Structure 1
Amino acid sequence: MGPQIVEYLQKIDASLEPFGGRFLVHGGDVEVIENKWPGHLIIIEFPDRQQVRGWYNPAGYQAILRLRTDNSQSAVIFVDGVEHPHRATDVLGQT
């Protein structure tokens, strides 16, 4: 880990706090069962899509974004979770 990634890690928690973001998965051992996985997995949970967009777009996170993007390869996606309890067949009623 280079100094820019260390700086990024030191600053990201403060950027998450105002938007209710929290790490659910942060690296750790990935046991690949099927196909290939290219590296680490990081999952950050937010209360809703509005909060994640608020976190990602303002100057707070954008100020540290380059520390990550200039020093690692990654993909960022926003995805909605499911309400609990959730059953696999619940998706059959969605369009």
Structure 2
Amino acid sequence: MKQPTESPRACVIGHITVRDAEKWAEYRRQVPATLSAWGGELVFRGRKISVMSGEHAHAETVVLQFPDARSLDGWFQSPAYQALIPLREQAADVVLIGYES
């Protein structure tokens, strides 16, 4: 009997340079409420202490994990998250990259 295959989990890695700390704090406060409907969770949030190889311009990184790529895309495209993008763009330079794991 063939076993059902699981979809690979999906992660978003965000590289961040904050320009407005107050607006960034407001954005960060609101993001968690957008994750739960999609099974998303915060895995890691940290500030760069060194670059050991190559170049990396951003000071902060965040990692979010989702059950699968469909959930990741659903979260990003959701009205709840889309409503936060203008605030994010005012607050920081952010590169978001989706990965399967």
Which band: TM-score by shorter chain?
A: 0.7 to 0.9
- Which residue matches 2:65? 45
Q: Which amino acid aligns with 2:61?
A: L
Quick check: 2:48–2:61 contact (8 Å CA) kept in 1?
Answer: no
Once the two structures are superposed, what CA deviation does each residue of 1:22-79 show, in whole Å capped at 9, x if it has no partner? 1122123443211122121111111100001110101110111111112211111111
Q: What SS does the aligned partner of 1:35 have? A: coil
Equivalent position to 1:32, from 38, 48, 51: 51
Q: Which runs of 5+ in 1 are unaligned?
A: 82-95
State the TM-score, normalizing by the size of structure 1. Answer: 0.75
Partner Cα separation in structure 2 for residue 14 and residue 47 of structure 1: 17
Partner Cα separation in structure 2 for residue 21 and residue 42 of structure 1: 13
State the TM-score, normalizing by the size of structure 2. Answer: 0.71
Correspondences of 1:1-95 after superposition (within 5 Å): 1-39=20-58, 40-81=60-101
Q: Find the structure with the greater CA-based Rg.
A: 1
Ranked by relative contact order (alpha carbons within 8 Å, sequence separation 6 or more), the top structure is: 2
Q: What SS does the aligned partner of 1:51 have? A: helix
Task: Decide whether aligned partners of structure 1 residues 24 and 30 sit closer, same or farther in structure 2, where only a CA change above 3 A counts.
Answer: farther
Q: What SS does the aligned partner of 2:24 have? A: helix
Give the number of the structure whose residues are more often strand, by fraction: 2
Partner Cα separation in structure 1 for residue 21 and residue 95 of structure 2: 19
Q: Which amino acid aligns with 1:74?
A: V
